Chains A and B, each alone.
Chain A
Amino acid sequence: MTTETDTKARNAEALAAANKKYEWGFSSDIEQEFAPKGLSEDTVRFISAKKNEPEWMLEYRLKAFRTWQTMELPEWAKLAIPEIDYQDAYYYAEPKQKKALGSLDEVDPEILRVYEKLGIPIEEQKMLAGVEGARKVAVDAVFDSVSVATTFRAELEAAGVIFRSISEAIREYPDLVRKWLGKVVPVRDNFFSALNAAVFSDGTFVYVPEGVRCPMELSTYFRINAENTGQFERTLIVADKGSYVSYLEGCTAPMRDENQLHAAVVELVALDDAEIKYSTVQNWYPGDENGKGGIFNFVTKRALCEGKNSKVSWTQVETGSAITWKYPSCVLKGDGSVGEFYSVAVTNGHQQADTGTKMLHIGKNTRSTIVSKGISAGKSNNTYRGRVLVNAGAENVRNFTQCDSLLLGDQCGAHTVPYIEVKNPSAQIEHEATTSKISEDQMFYAMQRGLDSEAAVALIVNGFAREVLKQLPMEFAVEAQKLLGISLEGSVG
């Protein structure tokens, strides 16, 4: 009983707190929190007005929308993308339309089992699953982390680091945002980047000033609206001269989400001697065992190594989503700049992933490393697609690419599509690829040591992906390892 009273009290508290939040944010239109269905200039204007954006931002969005209307969905990926009706979706909505669940008992037991395997605390499980009673816990949790975030914010501000939601940043640091927004991923870059530019809901803005080493790993997880960033996330990170920042995106726990189409844009800028490390763990709903449902994840991620000796390192562990279309890339413009891409992509069931990277060598003495590990199981398809370009003026470029594929079962597919375009003879470009399966010897060896078949597969797969996993920040790495094992459950034996 006491818990129930507690719950009610906390609910009321949370509600009050939530309303208060709106009071600060917007003075009007509190009731109407979503734009009418469909996509038109009006939707774009609505979103922009909702966010109190300056005129230039609205212009930017409208221009992007008009550009998007002239573009077509690219077809080169090895993906079977069902027809998407862009008019049959909401483009701005507080994510309240999630069906509230009474308790954890109503959650798909399959998901609960995964939570348990990942070792997620019960209260956090409730939050992730969207249990109603737990909302307040979730809010509490969020408020907890807000206080945490506030402490962090003070510490970050002392260091001069700006860490804001992009909407806040547009209002508070318009010059800084305006200078870099769309500079790395122009509106016209591709179909989804144009769509994102028109309707992006929220995202993150980070600016690390000259010479500052960001005192902590930044993560969306700590941000109050982390769970509201929605379908069209926009991230912009600028590392000024000589600075360093490590950014973590995503969460290992499977998220319940009603938005099927996700089209995020991430832009990174590294000036002279700056370094950005960007790590992603993505585990969105991949659809059921028949391939029904699941998230479409169409992401454009690109880094501009603008300054000399700058460095950007992408690390990604992709296990979720029904369709993944994602190529975190580096434009190596500054002399001596370095680009790295470490990726593990796991597909199971009916998942499709077409992912990889682009390394565009423009500056002299630029270097890049690509390590891609693709693991396919079930009836899934997993494609590595990469491009290494060496411009005529780029002297002494080095690139090393390794893409390894692991097939579990004979119903899946593993594909490799590398493009290598070299215009300067001093470049040294190497590309290696292998395709293999887990051998019976490996399984036998692991199992005769007492591991069951699933543990054995998890062990071997983690070994296969080790080169990538070791690039992840520690707390992520441990969870990512567990995640690989879980994602492949039922694929062997």
Chain B
Amino acid sequence: MVSTLELPTPRMEEWRWADMQALRSAAEAEPRVTGLDPADLFLDLDGPRLCFIDGAFEPAHSRPGAVQVTRQIVSSTHPLASLAEGEGWSLHIEPEHAVTAIQIVHLGSGGESHVPARIVLAEDAVASLVETYAGVGWANRLTSISLARGARLMRSVRLLQDEGFVSVRDEAEVGEAASLVSIFLGAGGMGSRIDGALTLTGKGAFAEMGGALLTRGSQRQECAVAVRHEETDGSSRQIWRAVAADKSVASLAARVEVARGAQKTDGEQSLRGLLLDRTATVNLKPELEIFADDVKCAHGATVGELDKNALFYLESRGIDKARATAMLTRSFVADALSRIGEDAVREAFEADADKWLGGTL
């Protein structure tokens, strides 16, 4: 199937750090038993639950509530997202209504799976969502998001597949005074590509996409996010952290676009990479494309190892080196995860990150 696909190549500027070979091998992998129980992948939260196994809806572990399972027609032109056609889910929330703690679990056992999703929040509607990816194979997802005036969506996504590949594409329109926050944690053994195109279409809109990518072995994870400001007074944040160990590669590409006339835009980018080994690689690309003159767009990008002074300080207090390293790395990652609003979700994500650190350091 996949072999007939035209996958993007590194010669394409937006894909120069992408690991399409890993995607191809994941898609071609024979299905196998993962031994994972979907029930263990849900957090202990009240709220709607959906489980997709190899891209197919699994009613036994689901209680969809307000979420509908439907087929979707995909209009994306993105090379991977355009493949995400078929059965998926959609969430429509009426004005001034709220649905929180929705959980979606994607469990793969090999091969490729495609699930489209659509989230539409009417005026002043509120929703929060947690997505978990586990298992193996290639999981390919497209999430289309549309937020009306004053709507608020908090989305937390964790990529915990043992191996394989996860490609996620978000396409969002954020209306006047609406707020979208999507935080990602890549702490599994898979390769990944987190792709985002967020457009601020209303005045005073807020959009944030960020997170932490933790890589080890020969794994490659990356994000490629573009936030586009089309109206005035919008603000956006892209806070990403990458930690790379062994021979792995973590790449962060983030772009802020300010359209002509989108004055008073406040765009913030912070991309930071931490290298744990001589053989690891971090790539950063903090990009600005600005067509308006009265804007505040600053970005900062740094790469390096842990601060030697901080390590020495902790060691001088009797904390051994391994633990000191873990503490400092944890706080490095916490910058990105602290953006998650719900305590229970944030703690779960931090625990996943800790587990990764425990296994790496």
Spell out A's residues near B (CB within 8 Å): 76, 78, 390, 392, 405, 407-435, 437
CA distance A390 to B300 in the complex (A): 18
Are B304's CB and A427's CB within 8 A?
Answer: yes
Are B293's CB and A407's CB within 8 A?
Answer: yes
Are B304's CB and A425's CB within 8 A?
Answer: yes
Given contacts A414-B290, A415-B290, A435-B290, contact A420 B300 (CB under 8 A): no
CA distance A426 to B288 in the complex (A): 28
Cβ contacts B291-311/A at 8 Å (1 or 0 each) = 111111111111111000000
Are A416's CB and B287's CB within 8 A?
Answer: yes
Given contacts A420-B301, A424-B278, A432-B300, contact A413 B289 (CB under 8 A): yes
CA distance A76 to B16 in the complex (A): 12
Are B290's CB and A425's CB within 8 A?
Answer: no
Taking CB atoms, residues of chain B closer than 8 Å to A417 are 285, 287-288
Given contacts A422-B273, A422-B275, A422-B303, contact A433 B288 (CB under 8 A): yes
Please, which residue of chain A has its CB at the minimum distance from the CB of B305? Answer: A425
Contact of B283 among A76, A409, A416, A420 (CB under 8 A): A420
CB distance from B35 to the nearest CB of A (A): 36
CB distance from A402 to the nearest CB of B (A): 11
CB distance from B321 to the nearest CB of A (A): 15
Are A423's CB and B280's CB within 8 A?
Answer: yes
CA distance A420 to B284 in the complex (A): 5
Contact of B286 among A405, A412, A433 (CB under 8 A): A433
**13 residue pairs from A and B, CB less than 8 Å apart:** A76-B13, A407-B290, A413-B289, A415-B287, A415-B289, A416-B287, A416-B299, A421-B284, A426-B305, A427-B304, A428-B303, A430-B300, A435-B296
Are A421's CB and B281's CB within 8 A?
Answer: yes
B182 CB within 8 Å of chain A: no
CA distance A407 to B296 in the complex (A): 12
Taking CB atoms, residues of chain A closer than 8 Å to B294 are 410, 437
Are A433's CB and B299's CB within 8 A?
Answer: yes
Are A425's CB and B301's CB within 8 A?
Answer: no
Are A430's CB and B285's CB within 8 A?
Answer: no
Taking CB atoms, residues of chain B closer than 8 Å to A419 are 283-285
Please, which residue of chain A has its CB at the minimum distance from the CB of B249? Answer: A423
B279 CB within 8 Å of chain A: yes
Q: Sorted from nearest, which 10 A-B pairs have the closest CB atoms?
A: A425-B275, A407-B293, A425-B305, A431-B301, A420-B284, A416-B288, A422-B303, A437-B293, A429-B303, A413-B291
B181 CB within 8 Å of chain A: no
Are B289's CB and A431's CB within 8 A?
Answer: no
Starting from the known contacts A418-B286, A420-B285, 4 additional A-B residue pairs (CB-CB under 8 Å) come to A407-B293, A423-B279, A428-B304, A435-B297
Are B275's CB and A424's CB within 8 A?
Answer: yes
CB distance from B264 to the nearest CB of A (A): 12
Taking CB atoms, residues of chain B closer than 8 Å to A416 are 286-288, 299
B161 CB within 8 Å of chain A: no
CA distance A433 to B300 in the complex (A): 7
Please, which residue of chain B has its CB at the minimum distance from the CB of A411? Answer: B260
Please, which residue of chain A has its CB at the minimum distance from the CB of B275? Answer: A425
Interface residues of B in 256-286 (CB under 8 A from A): 260-261, 263, 273, 275-286
CA distance A409 to B261 in the complex (A): 11
Please, which residue of chain A has its CB at the minimum distance from the CB of B283? Answer: A421
CA distance A478 to B261 in the complex (A): 36
CA distance A338 to B291 in the complex (A): 35
Are B290's CB and A413's CB within 8 A?
Answer: yes
CA distance A425 to B299 in the complex (A): 22
Please, which residue of chain A has its CB at the minimum distance from the CB of B277? Answer: A425
Interface residues of B in 131-150 (CB under 8 A from A): none
Taking CB atoms, residues of chain A closer than 8 Å to B305 are 425-426
Please, which residue of chain B has its CB at the minimum distance from the CB of A398? Answer: B304
Taking CB atoms, residues of chain B closer than 8 Å to A76 are 13
CB distance from B247 to the nearest CB of A (A): 10
